[in-house]
Amino acid sequence: MPAILDHWQVLPHGPLTAVDDKVWTVTGTLHMPVGDFERRMSVVRLRDGRLVIWSAIALDEPEMARLEGRRARQGAGGGARGLVGARLR
């Protein structure tokens, strides 16, 4: 596996924010030589309590603990149901 995939670097991001009872989002900024780009991760809790994560970004420890706490309170053993990422062409 390439070294770049061995470790996720946590870049600056905001707090995990509730959009609805079962939907959360977090945004951050990705600094590139040509400018700054907003990035957004969305999380949806399924009926069985598992989470679907769309366009995952690495969270800092406090926000990761909040996300893991949401999963644990719902009794969802087994982690995320799905991880969906963007594909650039």
Q: What is the pLDDT of residues 23-68, one digit of tens each?
A: 999 999 888 899 999 999 999 988 888 888 898 888 999 998 888 8
* pTM more than 0.85: no
What pLDDT, on the 0 to 100 scale, is given for residue 89? 47
What pLDDT, on the 0 to 100 scale, is given for residue 26? 96
Phi and psi angles of residue 73, each rounded to the nearest 5 degrees, phi first: -65, -25
What pLDDT, on the 0 to 100 scale, is given for residue 75? 53
What pLDDT, on the 0 to 100 scale, is given for residue 48? 84
Cα-based distances in Å from 17 to 4, 14, 23, 36, 51: 28, 8, 9, 21, 15
